[in-house]
């Protein structure tokens, strides 16, 4: 679960992120955040900077 914890930690350290759920199977992250503090591009950048791939499904 190292990957899951890494992603959770990175995201929870961003301003305005209130809840993060991450799973490996299926590969999915659900993030609740205040868009006034952190936008989707910043969330994506944080995940990529941590060494993971991001595919946004809206």
Q: Rounded CA gap, 16 and 32, in Å?
A: 8
pLDDT in tens, the chain (58 residues): 588 999 999 999 999 999 999 998 988 999 999 999 999 999 999 999 999 999 877 6
Q: What is the DSSP letter of 27?
A: T
**Which residues are CB-contacts of 48 (< 8 A; sequence separation ≥ 6)?**
54
Domain that holds residue 12: 2-49
Q: Rounded CA gap, 43 and 51, in Å?
A: 13
**pLDDT given at position 18:** 97
**pLDDT given at position 33:** 97
**pLDDT given at position 38:** 96
C-beta atoms surrounding 47 within 10 Å: 19
**pLDDT given at position 55:** 87
Which CATH number is 37's domain given?
Answer: 3.30.70.100
> Is 57 domain-assigned?
no
């Amino acid at each position: 679960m190292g990957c899951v914890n890494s992603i959770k930690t990175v995201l929870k350290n961003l301003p305005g992120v209130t809840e993060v759920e991450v799973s490996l199977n299926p590969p999915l992250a659900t993030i609740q955040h205040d868009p006034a503090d952190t936008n989707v591009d910043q969330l994506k950048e944080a995940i990529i900077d941590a060494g993971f791939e991001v595919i946004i499904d809206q």
